[in-house]
Structure 1
Amino acid sequence: MPSKEEIEKRKLLKKQLRENARKEFEENLPISRHYFKTIFDYLNDYLEQNECDHTLNTTLEILRNQNITNVQETISWLNKNGGYCDCEVLYNVEELFDEDAIL
């Protein structure tokens, strides 16, 4: 059984790994958290009233309306993180932004 000291050391290491993963995640975002929140909020409202058509058309519309210049980079990032259509952006990508998300 590990000692109290070893347990504390492991907790600290785990915390540091999470902080490093969170920092790397933030540094690799193609757009700001603010814009992602806008996307998630709009998609949530939209998908409550409409079925997903299994495209990223609504997400693309939001990006263009927000005057995002790196649309293709953002779409690629969304795809890499499980967002291949509007509902997947909401259900797969949004959870990555939770503070307790395991990255």
Structure 2
Amino acid sequence: MASKEEKRRRAALVQAIVAEDTKKAIEEMPISLVHLGQLFDHLDEQVENGCDHTPRITTAFLTSNNLSHDSILPWLQEQGGFCDCEILANVEEIWESEISKNT
């Protein structure tokens, strides 16, 4: 059985690995955390009126902010966001803590 000190050391190693993986994921994102947070805020306001199960509102946001649809929409889909309400529910859940830490 590992000592308390060994358990703390292992936990610190895991934490460092997770932090490095998160940092790398943020660097590879096709959208900044600031813009992603703004997208979530915008969707929060707009999806109140319902979702037509397309990324229509997201696409309009990307256009109005001169952001690339070609790289961001596929990335959002990889994160579980295929329409506006899924982007708000699934993608925000994944990234909300990083957004609040970094903005």
Give runs of ≥4 in structure 1 deviating > 3 Å. Answer: none
Counterpart of 1:91?
89
Question: Which one of 65, 75, 78 corresponds to residue 77 of structure 1?
Answer: 75
Alignment of 1:1-103 (within 5 A): 1-48=1-48, 50-68=49-67, 70-99=68-97
Which blocks of at least 5 consecutive residues in structure 1 are unaligned?
A: none
1:95 Cα deviation after fit: 1.5
Q: Deviations over 1:2-22 (max 9, x none)?
A: 112211111111111111121
1:87 Cα deviation after fit: 0.3
Which blocks of at least 5 consecutive residues in structure 2 are unaligned?
A: 99-103
Normalising by structure 1, report the TM-score. 0.88
Letter matched to residue 10 of structure 2: R
Normalising by structure 2, report the TM-score. 0.88
1:76 Cα deviation after fit: 0.6
Q: Deviations over 1:77-98 (max 9, x none)?
A: 0011101000000000011223
RMSD: 1.3
Letter matched to residue 91 of structure 1: A
Letter matched to residue 77 of structure 2: N
Letter matched to residue 91 of structure 2: V
* Percent of pairs with identical residues: 38
Greater percentage in helix: 2
What CA distance in whole angstroms lies between the structure 2 residues aligned with 1:72 and 1:34? Answer: 19
